[in-house]
Structure 1
C-alpha cells in the first residue's frame, strides 16, 4: 500500500494534468464549455422535481413538500451518478488509451485514478448545486454537510478498485462494456435513490445493504438533508473494506497488465 500511494504522489502532476484534460475534453467544442458541468445537475434537479413532485406527486415522508423531495432524491442521485460515470468509462479505459500501453515508462494504473478524479469533480459540482438549491428551499444548510467528503473518500476507493478490475477485464473481454451498462442501470433500482429503505419489506431491508451504494447514499442523504452525524463505527468498517477492494483491484490490474500489449 505504501508503494501504491508513493506511486500516486510521484505522478501527482501527471494525474492532475490528465484529470484536467479529461474534464475539458468532455465539453470540448461546446458553446458553454465547462459551464455545462453546472448546467447538467441544475437541469436534472428541475426535471426530477417536475416529474416526481408535480406529475407523479411522490412523497418521501409525511412532512416533505415537492421541493424538499427533490433535494432528498438528488442527494442520492449524485452519489449514484458518481458510481455510474466511473463504471461506464471503465471497460474502455485501456482500449481508448492504447497508445499508452506500449510506452513502458507510462504508469497505466493512473488512468483509473484520472477516471475517478474527473467523476469526483462532477460529484462536487452537483453537491455545490444541491447546497445552493438547499439554501434557497430550506433557508438553511446543515453543518453536517462537512461530513460529505469524509463519506465519499472510502466510496471513491471502492470505485477505484472496481475501475482497475473492470478496465483490465475489458481488454480481454469486450462484452464487459455491454454487461456493465446493464448492471449500472439495474443498480439505480437496487439502490435507495427513489425510495427509502424503510419502504421495503422488513425481511429484505437488510439485504439491500449488501449493495455498496446503499450505506453511502443513506449516510450522505442524512448528512445533507436531515443534519445527522454519520455512523462513524460503520464508516470505519466501510473504510477498511474500501482499502481491501482498492488493493485487490490494483493487484488484479498489475497481474493482468502484462498481456495488454499482446491483446491490443
Structure 2
C-alpha cells in the first residue's frame, strides 16, 4: 500500500465525513473543502518529499544538485561569450549569477506545470479507491514545488554571498514573483492536466513546447544580443516577462515591473478559472477514463 493510500485510510478512520462531495459549484465551498482536508494535504506534501529522497544518502541535496549542474554546464560553455554582455554588473561571476536568477523562476514554473500535467493520471488508482477533494492533488504539487524552490533559493543566496555579489533590498519582492509564478503555472498545469486525462497527446506535446519556450526566454542569454525583430517576438512569451523580473530583483537590484506582474496575474486568474471550470465539468468522468 502506498503512502498516499495510508494517509487516506487514516483520514477515513479519523473523519467519518471523508467523502468526495465536499467540492460543489462555488469557490467558497472549494476553499472550505481544502481547509477541511488540510491534514491530508500537509501529509501528502511530506510524503512527496520523502519519496524523492527515499534510500538516498544525500537526501534533500538532490533537490538542488540537478539544477545546479545544469547551471554550471551553461556557465562553463557560455560564460566566455556572455560575461561581457551584462552591463552594470561588476563581478567576474556575473553570467553565472544571471543564469541562477533566471533558473530560479524557470524551474518553479516548469515543475508546477509539468507535474500538474500528469497529476490526475499518476494518481488514477487513488482516485478510483478513495473519494476526496481531487483539487487537493494539484495543491499538493504547488506547495511541494514552492518549498523545493525556496530550498533552491537558499542555496543560490549562499552562492551570491560567497561570490561577493551585493544582495539588495529589492530581493524582498521575491515572494510577489513567487505567487505570480506559481499561480500562472498552476492555472496552465491544471487546465492541461484535466485535458490530458482525455487527450493523452497533450502530455507528449507539452515537453516539446517547454523546450521551445526555454529558448524563447532570456535565461541563458541577454535579450539585448538578439536582433530587434526577434526581441519583439520573444516579448509575446509571458515567461519572458516573468524571468525578466527575476533578473531585475536578483541581479540588477531593481524593483519589479508591477504593471507587467499585474497582467501576468490576470492571465493566471483566467487560466485558474478555466482549469477549475474544466475540472468541475470533467471530474465525474475522470475516474471512468482513468
TM (norm. structure 1) is 0.89
2:228 equivalent in structure 1 = 202
> What is the Cα deviation at residue 109 of structure 1?
1.0
Unaligned runs of 5+ residues in structure 1 are none
2: distance between equivalents of 1:92 and 1:42?
25
Unaligned runs of 5+ residues in structure 2 are 1-26
CA 196–49 in structure 1, closer or farther in 2 if over 3 Å, else same: closer
1:119-144 CA-to-partner distances (Å, cap 9, x unmatched) read 22221122111111111213421111
2: distance between equivalents of 1:254 and 1:155?
24
Contact 2:117-2:190 within 8 A present in 1 as well: no
> What is the Cα deviation at residue 218 of structure 1?
0.4
Please, which of 83, 88, 97 is the counterpart of residue 71 of structure 1?
97
> What is the Cα deviation at residue 57 of structure 1?
5.9
> What is the Cα deviation at residue 164 of structure 1?
1.2
2: distance between equivalents of 1:155 and 1:57?
26
1: distance between equivalents of 2:31 and 2:235?
29
> What is the Cα deviation at residue 9 of structure 1?
2.8
2:270 equivalent in structure 1 = 244
Please, which of 153, 163, 168 is the counterpart of residue 142 of structure 1?
168
> What is the Cα deviation at residue 91 of structure 1?
3.3
2: distance between equivalents of 1:243 and 1:57?
36
> What is the Cα deviation at residue 227 of structure 1?
0.7
2:89 matches 1:61: no
1: distance between equivalents of 2:210 and 2:52?
20
2:152 equivalent in structure 1 = 126
Contact 1:78-1:126 within 8 A present in 2 as well: yes
Number of equivalent positions? 263
CA 15–95 in structure 1, closer or farther in 2 if over 3 Å, else same: same
1: distance between equivalents of 2:180 and 2:108?
13
Contact 2:86-2:94 within 8 A present in 1 as well: no
TM (norm. structure 2) is 0.82
1:257 equivalent in structure 2 = 283
Q: What are the within-5 Å matches in structure 2 for residues 191-230 of structure 1?
A: 191-230=217-256
1: distance between equivalents of 2:188 and 2:165?
39
Q: What are the within-5 Å matches in structure 2 for residues 134-213 of structure 1?
A: 134-213=160-239
> What is the Cα deviation at residue 197 of structure 1?
2.5
> What is the Cα deviation at residue 82 of structure 1?
1.6
> What is the Cα deviation at residue 221 of structure 1?
1.0
CA 107–137 in structure 1, closer or farther in 2 if over 3 Å, else same: same
Moved more, 213-222 or 172-181: 172-181
2: distance between equivalents of 1:113 and 1:149?
18
CA 108–61 in structure 1, closer or farther in 2 if over 3 Å, else same: same
